[in-house]
Structure 1
C-alpha cells in the first residue's frame, strides 16, 4: 500500500447550496500565499496526494494547500444530502453547469480569505488539472486580482463550436437528462476495491499498483449491496447544453494577469479524445500564443494525462520554482 508522507485533514464547508469537502495540507503563514489545487472531471481532491508528498516538509511548514472536491464529486454533496449516511447520495440534480465551478471557487476564496484573516481581495496561487485547469484559466481571467500565479496542468479546452451545432446539442442534452431519469445513464459499478484499482490502472497504465490501491478507496466507495461506486454523480456525464465558444474563452484568457505556467505530458493526450485533426495540441498552443504570449510551457517525459500521478516529483519541483519566482 502507498505510504503517505504528508497526511491531509478534511473539513466541510457550506457554499452555494452544497456541503463542500476540502482537503488541506500544510499550515498558513501570513507572509505566504495559500495554494489551491483543483482536480479534473470524475476525479477527487485526494488525487493530488502523490504530488503533495513530493514537496519538502519545509515548504509545507510555511504554506497552506487546499484542494476541494468539486460539487457532485468526491464528498461534496448538496446540503439536502449532508446528513445522509449514504456516501453516494448526490441529490436530485439532473445536470451540472460549468459556470457553477467558477462561482464555487469564488465563494471558496472569499471564505478562505475571511477565515485566514486575509484582506477580502487577497490573491491565491492556483493549480488546476484537466477540467480544473480550464476552470482556473477562466477564473484567472474573470477575477485577475485574485490569482497571483497560475498553473494549468493538461487543461486544453475544447474544439471550437459552430452555431449550427446548437439544435443537436440541446436535443442531446434533453435526451441524456431523460436517460438519467430512466436510470439508463449511470456510472459503472465494481465488485470491490481491487476492481476499482484495476480500472484506474487500465485508464493509466503508468499508475503503480500501490498508488492505485490507495487511490481506489478515495475514488470510490461501497454501496448498500457491497458494490463499489465511483464517488461522482452520474449527472456529470450529461453533455453541456451550451456550445464551447473558443472566441469567448480567448477573450477571458486575454484578461489573465498572473504569470502562467502550462504543464503537459510529452505524450499527447488530446489524440485519445478527439478525431484526427478535430482539435490538436498545436491548436491549443496557438490559442495560448494569441491570448497569453508570455506564458511558459513545460513538458514532462514518461507521463500521460494524469501526470501528477506519473511524475509527481517533477511536477512538484516545477511548482516550487515557479511560485518562488514571484515570492
Structure 2
C-alpha cells in the first residue's frame, strides 16, 4: 500500500483531519468520502494510480478523525462550506480535480456549480441525491426531526476489530478480507470498555428538518462549467432510497441531463462502494479523465 500521512488543521472552528498520499508539488486530486465513511476509504484507488499525484482527502466533520460538532444536527451546507475552506487552504486560487463519492458526490456537485471557477475536472461517484419532495411534506419532516431530538442516537459497538470487518463485508459482500481488515482499522477505534466504536457521530443518523429541493440542486448542476465524469455501479443499491428502479432510472437520467459536459460510465461487477470493488478500473478512468486535454 502507498503510505499516507495525516494533517490536522482548523476548518471553520473544528479540528479537521486530512489524509495525504503522494508527493508535495505533484498534480493534486481531491477526494471526499460519503456518509459513514472515512478518507482512508480511497486507499485502494490511490494504490492503483499509475502517475505522480498528490491525493488530498479530508474526513468530513463528525467522521473519522475530524472533530464532531456541538450541535444536535448536521447541515448539508456545512459540508459545502468546509470544502471551500479546505480548497482555499491546500489549493488557493487553483482550479482543482475534485472527486466525491455518494454524499461526497452530492457535495462536490453543488460546490462545482456554486464555485465553477474552482473546479477543473469533476468526478461524481454515485452521488444521486435524494428523492424529490413537495412542500406538503414539510410538517411531517419537522415533526420527525423534533421527535428524534428527544432520544440521543446511538451506533452499535463491536467486540473486536474483526467483528467490524465482518460488518463491512456484510454490507458489501464483494469486499475482500484484506481490504475489510484495513478499513476496520480506520473506520473504528476501541473505547474505554474495550469495544470497537464506529468513527462517526451518531447525530448523523438524525434526519434534517429541511426538505430536499431537487430543482435547486439542478440549478447548481446547470452552473457547472467543468467537464464531469459520472460513474455508477452496475449493481448499485440506490433504488433503496431513490424509489422503484424504473421511475428512479428516469429521474437519475433527468438529473444528469442538466450537466452541460458529462461523460457517464457504468462500472461492471461493482456495488455502491465501487472504489472498494473495482479500484483498478476506477483509477484508470480517473487518470484518463483528469489528464485529457
Partner of 2:267: 300
Which residue pairs with 1:314 in the alignment?
Answer: 281
Residues 232, 278 of structure 1: CA spacing in aligned structure 2 closer, same or farther, 3 A cutoff?
Answer: farther
Mapping of residues 1-327 of structure 1, within 5 Å: 4=1, 6-29=2-25, 33-56=27-50, 59-60=51-52, 63-77=53-67, 90=68, 92-113=70-91, 120-180=92-152, 185-276=153-244, 280-289=248-257, 291-326=258-293
The residue number in structure 2 matching 1:86 is none
1:258-282, Cα deviation, whole Å (9 max, x unpaired): 0000011111322233442696133
TM-superposed CA distance for 1:214, in Å, is: 1.1
Give, in whole Å, the separation in 1 of the partners of 2:58 and 2:242. Answer: 29
* TM-score calculated relative to the size of structure 1: 0.87
Could you tell me which runs of 5 or more consecutive residues in structure 2 were left unpaired when the two chains were aligned.
none
Q: Alpha-carbon deviations, 1:219-276, whole Å to 9, x = none?
A: 0011100111100000001111110001111111100000000011111322233442
Moved more, 90-99 or 214-223: 90-99
Quote the Cα distance in structure 2 between the aligned partners of 1:240 and 1:302. Answer: 33
| TM-fit CA distance, 1:91 | 5.6
Name the residue aligned to 1:85.
none
Query: Is the Cα contact below 8 Å between 2:224 and 2:260 reproduced in 1?
Result: no
Measured in 1, the distance between the counterparts of 2:262 and 2:70 equals 41
Of stretches 129-138 and 261-270 in structure 1, the one that deviates more from structure 2 is: 261-270
Q: Which residue of 2 aligns with 1:84?
A: none
Distance in 1, matches of 2:128 and 2:71, equals 27
Deviations 1:88-126 (A, max 9, x none): xx463211100000100001111113xxxxxx4211100
Which one is further off, 310-319 or 166-175?
166-175
Task: Count matched residues.
Answer: 293
Output the CA distance in 2 between the equivalents of 1:226 and 1:313.
Answer: 36
Q: CA deviation at 1:294?
A: 2.9
Do 2:236 and 2:270's aligned partners in 1 also have CA atoms closer than 8 Å?
no
SS of corresponding position for 1:325:
coil
Tell me the secondary structure at the aligned position of residue 280 of structure 1. helix
**Over the residues paired in the alignment, what is the CA RMSD in angstroms?**
1.4
- Which aligned runs of 4 or more in structure 1 are off by greater than 3 angstroms? none
Return the TM-score normalized by structure 2: 0.97
